[in-house]
Structure formats: structure tokens, C-alpha cells
Amino acid sequence: MARPFKPKVLTANRLIEGDVVYYAANGEWVSAHENAMFIEDEAEANDLLAQANAQSYLLVGPYLADAVLERGKPVPTHFREAFRTRGPSNYDHGKQAEA
């Protein structure tokens, strides 16, 4: 039996800056995880990933990452993805600087 699909967000790094970005429901790539599109349908997730892979001029290494909804916003389930939402822990040099 196929494993049940776990909800995802679509993420990548920007080609020039290398910044972590997320695919938002309006089709933009945004830096805040909470603004990412929460994808609950596997086929849609794979479609969006394929589209992102075709945006090689803009992005590097798109992939789907597990997420859950908390207070209506997507939140990462794994600590690696949580680190990607804010930046390194030794300096405020990542996204935490924008916050």
C-alpha cells in the first residue's frame, strides 16, 4: 500500500544570491516559510516541482519539504528545514537579519 502523502512546501535556493525561497500560492518565490503554499495533494506537489525544475534560470535545487499547519501557517517538521527558514545559529547573517 502506498504511504499516505505528507503535506509539503516547495523550496529552492535563488540562483544568484543562493537565498532560501519558498513557492507561494500566487506563483511568486518568497523568503518567509509562513507565506509558502501548503501543498496537500501529491499530484499538485509533483507538478509544481516539475515547473520549478524548469525555472533553472531563477532557482537551484528545488525540492519538496515536509510541513504541517500551525495556526493556519505552514511550519517545517524537521530541524534542517527549520534552520533554513532563519539562517545559522552563530550569527544573524541569514534571514533572521531581515526579521
Q: Rule CB under 8 A: which residues touch another protein?
A: 13, 15-20, 56-57, 60-61, 77-80, 83-84, 87-91, 93-95
**Quick one: residue 87, left, alpha or beta (phi over 0 = left, psi -120 to 50 = alpha)?**
left
Helices (H) and strands (E) in the chain, counts: 2, 5
Minimum separation from the CB atom of position 72 to another protein (A)? 23
Cα–Cα distance for residue pair 20/10, rounded to 1 Å = 11
One-letter amino acid at 53 equals N
Tell me, rounded to whole angstroms, the distance of Cα 54 from its chain centroid: 16
Query: 46 or 96: whose CB is closer to another protein?
Result: 96
Minimum separation from the CB atom of position 67 to another protein (A)? 13
Query: 74 or 87: whose CB is closer to another protein?
Result: 87
Which three-class secondary structure state does DSSP give residue 21? strand
Minimum separation from the CB atom of position 48 to another protein (A)? 18
Query: 28 or 88: whose CB is closer to another protein?
Result: 88
